[in-house]
Structure 1
Amino acid sequence: MTKLKDVYPLYLNNKAVQPNTDLAVTDKFTGEVAFRVAQADAATIDAAIAGAVRAAEPMARMAAYERQAVLDHCVRRFKERFDELAYALCVEAGKPIKDSEGEVGRLIDTFRIAAEESVRLGGEVLPIDIAPRAKGYQSIWKRVPIGPCSFISPFNFPLNLAAHKIAPALAVGNPFVMKPASRTPLGAIIIGEILAETDLPEGAFSILPAHREGADLFTTDDRLKLLSFTGSPDVGWDLKARCGKKKVVLELGGNAAVIVDHDADLNDAMERIIFGAFYQSGQSCIGVQRIIVHESIYDTFRDMLVKRTGGLIAGDPKDPKTFVGPMISESEASRLDGWIQEAIASGATLLCGGKREGAMLEATLLENVGRDTNAYREEAFGPLAILSKFSDFNAALDEVNDSKFGIHAGIFTRDIFKSLDAWDRLDVGGVVINDVPSYRVDNMPYGGVKDSGIGREGIKFAMEDMTEIRNLIIRRK
């Protein structure tokens, strides 16, 4: 079995620094301290931002093949340290080991895609002779790095969501400072350890675990030109309000819905919805929270889901048989347990699950949930899904849109016209046909609307956010 070290540093201006061991990180299943990590103070964060400013020009001067070489090095080292990365994720996030291995695979994919895209950052020759006054003029534009970036990553995908910030920044030549989630900092620190093996200019990166209240500079410092934040809506929108002039990209919450129409393959839909609702204990912003089923198949499909959900194995995430591990903390499990009890008290029917022990909450299905309850309106971010029925497809689309969130929606149907109607009408960032909203591939444009955020991730699209267009106009005489 892989063993973790007892103590880990932070990374300041490309170098490992161990000023303290103040941040205790627990094994999320046992609750015991698994390792300790250095924690950055305001002076350290300030020094990191100053280093990123100094690194901006040498980073921008790096040739495309040099940026690609850094990313290729990361891909090789991630593969070599695959088991260590997966085990660290399993411990610090409580993510079942098979899911942890899957996330390491996505980390590798994300850096590989960035390596490929790093040599494709092009521009355009733009004809501007649209009127007599522009005759003899030529426009050419290119993309240039935006400059020092600030990244704040969440606990639920501590490897891959950090990668979706770091990899495109390196691909375009931006220095960055990153604050990983305090509950799950180790994945980002190992990425920093591997980046430190490269020849990046000094100050190109800093990875700084810090408590939220001590990390205001990540948001407010005007030397930073972009903030990319993934996390809760309340925090994200507050950060945007305090960001000043810098560009902001927000990947926030959701309470994603999936429609199961009468012509769906029920066995296939059931397996995918089980995955979408209860994968990594439902702690995903595109996890299936609302399941909207055609009335003609509702009873059959509900009974299939209940039986399958009741058979999910919960327990130690280090056991390969485990499907549902602990939530990130007992307080989060208690919060969602309270929402379940609130819904039941308001008239909802408990179909299965509903029991909690510490941070372990059973995979839970409810029906007849009132639309004014937290379980319906808010982001559950845990192993809870609610069922409702529909008779008219347009009404089902309206129900999907009855949310302040909008990242992804899923539709199980064989009707191409309904698929296109859903694509037109659903107020979300992406519509997934014959799969769950939880489906994501790391090169596609990913992000939400409404309270779910602004901007898009996916390497090519993040690279666009992390660059500015610089135009060249030539008068030919």
Structure 2
Amino acid sequence: MMTAVKETRMLLGGEWVNRKETITVRDPQDNTIFTTVPKASVKDALYAIETAKEGAKISAKLSVFERMNIIHKAVQYIEDNKERYAQTIATEGSKTITEARAEVKRCMDTMRLSAEEARRMHGETIPFGQREGGDNRIGYYYHFPVGIVAAITPFNDPLNLVAHKVGPAIASGNAIIVKPASLTPVSAILLAEALDYAGLPRKVLQVITGNGGEIGDVLVTHPAVRLVSFTGGFETGEAIAKKAGLKKISMELGSNSPAIVLEDADVMDAVQSCVAGAFGAVGQNCLGVQRIYVKEAVYHAFVEQFVAEAKKYIVGDKRSDETMMGPLIHEKEAIRIEKLVDEAVALGATILTGGERDGAFYMPTVLENVPRGAQIIEEEVFGPVVSIFKIDSVEEAIELANDVNYGLQAGIFTKNIDIAFKAIHDLEVGGVIVNDSSDYRVDAMPFGGVKGSGIGREGVKFAMEDMTEKKVVQFKL
């Protein structure tokens, strides 16, 4: 068990600072106080931007070798302190200690990828002779940093999702200001600690903690900020897009991910993949399986085995190595999910297992017979609830899978290559995972969705492309 920390400072203007006003960070499992962080003001946010103007100039002048060296040294620092990082994630957030340790490993992978992509970010020569009279011209294009990146990050992956913004920003020569989720700010501060130790010039990275409604608007709307990278909810993302102005925006806004199980699938494999995809990280996962469409021929076998596996889930103390699922991030989230389930039941849905709440804990829940129009299948649940449906054809499954305003990833289980490619082509999503659930990602791949699931793509290489512009150079001989 991690002991409470008296106070945690933020990195602002090149200094580790505190403030008289603070935000209390609590362990959602028992509501005990973990630490406090400064409550940054509008003045602090403006100061961060002014500092970042200097940081952007410093960052742009760092050689690729220097950027790589700093990032690799930061990774080594995280490796040397990985249990402290994992305990922090598990204390301030919802993840079990096992899940937290896995996140620390992924963070190190993300940062290593950032260092490696720094060496691979190059331009191309341009054949100016393609135009008549251009034979005496040669040239190329190269990438240059946008300048200042503002990153607003969520609570569910408080370390690795920050790394997905910070690593690419540094690797591509930008300054970055991180505003982490107020519920889980310490993990982001620990990433800044690693980079500070590694010798990153302090004005290049700042982590300011505070209320999003106050400091977030300053970061989003300020003209000096050239890219806003946001991971969070659809409504907040839509509001940011409306007020950001003329600048780049990259957003991952969640999903309502489907899985399709056909009659030729390995049913037990599909069950195990979808159970993990539905209930991992307490379902607080943008890739989490929320809807499962199962062909009639295997429906009863699938449901029976799925419910049996869901009942085996060990829910309890997130600090125990045996626990498979801990609490949601806050009791109000568990209450919100409880209301969604109750509404679905009132409309005719059947609870096959779960449907019980204890404070911030909500049991793994499986629903059947959920009618169209119920919020629990229209919106992102972001909790441990999955709905299963019987379908007659793959065409029906694809139509239903597409019938929401989200499209991040989808999974399909089949041995038929033709059907797999039909799903790949017809599913309105940013990624199709064949013979696994939607809940699969490597940190190097382009990651993002369509419709209400966001704009642009994360994944280190692709984030770096967003964080740079192309400059053309041409010589007339």
Please indicate the TM-score interval, normalised by the length of the shorter structure: over 0.9
Question: What is residue 288 of structure 2 aligned with on the other side?
Answer: 287
- Would you say the 8 A contact 1:10–1:39 is kept in 2? no
Q: CA deviation at 1:162?
A: 0.5
Aligned AA for 2:111? Answer: F
CA distance in structure 2 between the aligned counterparts of 1:133 and 1:368, rounded to whole angstroms: 69
SS in 1 for 2:158: coil
Asked if 1:121 is matched to 2:96, the reply is: no
Paired residue for 2:418? Answer: 417
Contact 1:16-1:193 within 8 A present in 2 as well: no
**Shift, 1:4, TM fit:** 4.7
d(CA) in 1 for partners of 2:134 and 2:343?
A: 67
Alpha-carbon displacement from aligned partner over 1:66-107 (angstroms, at most 9, x marks no partner): 000111011101101110011111111121110111111100
Q: How does 1:23-62 map to 2 (within 5 A)?
A: 23-62=23-62
Instruction: Give the letter aligned to residue 284 of structure 1.
Output: N
Query: Amino acid of the residue matched to residue 364 of structure 2?
Result: A
Cα distance in 2 between the residues matched to 1:191 and 1:154: 15
Please tell me the residue identity of whatever aligns with 2:213. Answer: E
Residue type of the alignment partner of 1:363:
P
Question: 1:76 is paired with a residue of what secondary structure?
Answer: helix
Q: Which amino acid aligns with 1:361?
A: Y
Deviation at 1:38, TM superposition (A): 1.6
- Deviation string 1:284-338 (CA, Å, 9 cap, x unpaired) is 1110000111100000110101111112111110111111211111111111110
d(CA) in 1 for partners of 2:418, 2:279? 30
CA contact (8 A) 2:4 2:33 kept: no
Hey, what does 1:432 align to over in structure 2? Answer: 433
Q: Which residues in structure 2 correspond to 1:191-270 (within 5 Å)?
A: 191-215=191-215, 216-270=217-271
What amino acid is aligned across from residue 327 of structure 1 in structure 2? L
Corresponding position of 1:460: 461
Q: Which letter does structure 2 place at the counterpart of 1:11? A: L
Aligned counterparts of 2:44 and 2:323: Cα–Cα separation in 1: 40
Residue 356 of structure 1 and its aligned partner are, at CA, apart by 0.6
Tell me, yes or no, if the aligned pair for 2:230 and 2:251 is still in contact at 8 Å: yes
SS at match of 1:376: helix
Using the alignment, how far apart are the partners of 2:317 and 2:102 within structure 1?
17
Q: Distance in 1 between matches of 2:460 and 2:242?
A: 26
- The aligned residue for residue 274 of structure 1 is 275
Residue in 2 that maps onto 1:474: 475
- Secondary structure in 2 matching 1:119: helix
**Are the equivalent residues in 2 in contact too, given 1:355–1:361 (CA < 8 A)?**
yes
**CA distances 1:196-245 after superposition (whole Å, capped 9, x unpaired):** 22333341111011112211211111111000000000001101110011
Name the SS for the 2:133 alignment partner: helix
Report the residue type matching 2:468 in the other structure: T
Any idea what SS the aligned residue of 1:289 has? strand
Query: Unaligned regions of 5+ residues in structure 2, if any?
Result: none
Note the C-alpha offset of 1:139.
Answer: 2.9
Secondary structure, aligned partner of 1:240: helix
CA distance in 2, matches of 1:190, 1:21: 21
Q: Would you say the 8 A contact 1:14–1:196 is kept in 2? A: no
Aligned residues: 476
Q: How many angstroms apart in 2 are the aligned matches of 1:16 and 1:241? A: 33
Q: Any stretches of 5+ residues in structure 1 without a counterpart?
A: none
Aligned to 1:67: 67
For structure 1, which segment, 250-259 or 417-426, has the greater mean C-alpha deviation from structure 2 after superposition?
A: 417-426
CA distance in structure 1 between the aligned counterparts of 2:272 and 2:21, rounded to whole angstroms: 43
TM score, norm. by length of structure 1: 0.98
Q: How far 1:131 moved relative to its partner?
A: 2.8
Deviates more, 1:128-137 or 1:33-42: 128-137
User: What CA distance in whole angstroms lies between the structure 1 residues aligned with 2:141 and 2:322?
Assistant: 53
Measure, in 2, the Cα distance between the counterparts of 1:202 and 1:378: 41
Deviations 1:250-275 (A, max 9, x none): 01020100001111111111111111
Q: Structure 1: which amino acid aligns with 2:461?
A: K
Aligned residue type for 2:358: E
- State the distance in 1 between where 2:349 and 2:470 align: 53
Listed as ranges, the matches of 1:375-386 within 5 Å are: 375-386=376-387
1:13, CA displacement in angstroms?
2.8
Matches of 2:191 and 2:350 in 1, distance apart?
Answer: 45
Give CA deviations for 1:127-183 in whole Å, capped at 9, x if unaligned: 121232323222300001110110000000001100100000010110011100000
Please name the residue that 2:6 is paired with.
Answer: 6
Residues 71 and 198, structure 2, Cα contact 8 Å, conserved in 1: no
Aligned to 2:394: 393
Paired residue type of 1:100: A
- TM-aligned CA deviation for residue 2 of structure 1: 4.3
Whole-angstrom distance in 1 between the partners of 2:75 and 2:198? 12
- 2:75 and 2:194 in contact (8 A); partners too: no
Cα deviation digits, residues 372-423 of structure 1 (max 9, x gap): 0101100000000000011211121111111100000001111111111111
Deviation at 1:124, TM superposition (A): 0.1
Measured in 2, the distance between the counterparts of 1:194 and 1:161 equals 16
Distance across 1 between alignment mates of 2:311 and 2:319: 21
C-alpha distance in 2 between matches for 1:420 and 1:213? 44
Contact (CA 8 Å) 1:13, 1:204: kept in 2 or not? no
Q: In the alignment, which residue of structure 2 is the partner of 1:449?
A: 450
- Alignment RMSD, CA only? 1.1
| In 2, Cα distance between equivalents of 1:87 and 1:14 | 27
Asked if 1:330 is matched to 2:331, the reply is yes
Residue 171 of structure 1: aligned partner: 171
2:297 is aligned with 1:301: no
Segment drifting more, 347-356 vs 39-48: 39-48
